[in-house]
Amino acid sequence: MNRAARVSILAAYAAAAAWALAPAPPKPLAATIAPPPPTYERQRHRPPRRIAPEPEEVAPDVVPMPRPRAAPILAPEVGERYDLPSGVKVSWEPEDMWAYVNLKFPEIPPVEYDHPFDGRASIFYSDKQIWQDCHIDKTKYPDGDLAGCAWPHNGECTIIIAPLNILKKYGLTYRIVLRHELGHCNGWGQDHAGAR
């Protein structure tokens, strides 16, 4: 290879290097360019407007009635007695299902006793320990609390439920205890056989 070819190859390499290493054009100042908006401010795709008129809302034929004051299912008032009519069913809310799933012990009566009570039930939500009210000797259960008690008599049933702070200590709710005690009203024994 002669000298002229070497010089031309060297010049080509120098031109390529100069082109590759050329300084980038200066960037504009930050104040002149707005940053892209955050994702929550970006315009979202909106469907086109409807051409047809919106349908008018029609009032329902049946308006749901509020629950009667006698139903202790919603929010019981401590210290008051409630008289339930015959056949009232205990409906659970999501917090009751959550508590039941997380219980460490069986609390619900077996299926044959887990149904609405046919007679009249009187429920009392206590604001104190219920050992005396239930006529149960606390010395037989030294390291426990009583959540509720029930005793059927002459086709009626009386239920006493402990304060909410005692129930929460064991992960119980009013509705779980009420369902348990209604099982006793329906003839479930005090040995709690078949509890689930």
pLDDT given for residue 110 in this prediction? 93
131 domain residue, yes or no: yes
- Distance between CA 118 and CA 155 in Å, rounded? 8
> Nearest 5°: phi and psi at 31?
-70, -20
Sort 172 into a burial class: Cβ within 10 Å, 0-12 / 13-18 / 19+.
buried
> What digits encode the pLDDT tens for the residues 124-138?
888 888 888 888 888
Kindly indicate the confidence band of residue 18, based on its pLDDT and cuts at 50, 70 and 90: confident
Query: What share of the chain has pLDDT > 70, as a percent?
Result: 69
Closest CA to 123 of 166, 167, 157, 172: 157
pLDDT given for residue 6 in this prediction? 82
More confident residue, 71 or 21: 21
14 domain residue, yes or no: no
- Distance between CA 139 and CA 124 in Å, rounded? 24
More confident residue, 11 or 34: 11
160 domain residue, yes or no: yes
Average pLDDT, the chain: 76
Highest mean pLDDT among 6-20, 123-137, 177-191: 177-191
For 34-41, the CB contacts below 8 A with 24+ separation are: none
In sequence order, which ranges of 57-152 are alpha helices (DSSP H)? 94-101
24 domain residue, yes or no: no
**What one-letter code names the amino acid at 38?**
P
107 domain residue, yes or no: yes
59 domain residue, yes or no: no
Q: Which two tokens stand for residue 145?
A: 């609390």
Minimum mean pLDDT among 21-25, 113-117, 158-162, 188-192: which range? Answer: 21-25
> What digits encode the pLDDT tens for the residues 39-83?
554 455 566 666 655 555 554 444 444 444 444 444 556 766 777
Question: Which residues form the domain of 166?
Answer: 81-185
- Distance between CA 43 and CA 162 in Å, rounded? 55
Per-residue DSSP letter, 74: S
Cα-based distances in Å from 39 to 89, 97, 132: 49, 38, 63
196 domain residue, yes or no: no
Number of domains in the chain: 1
Q: Which two tokens stand for residue 57?
A: 């809302």
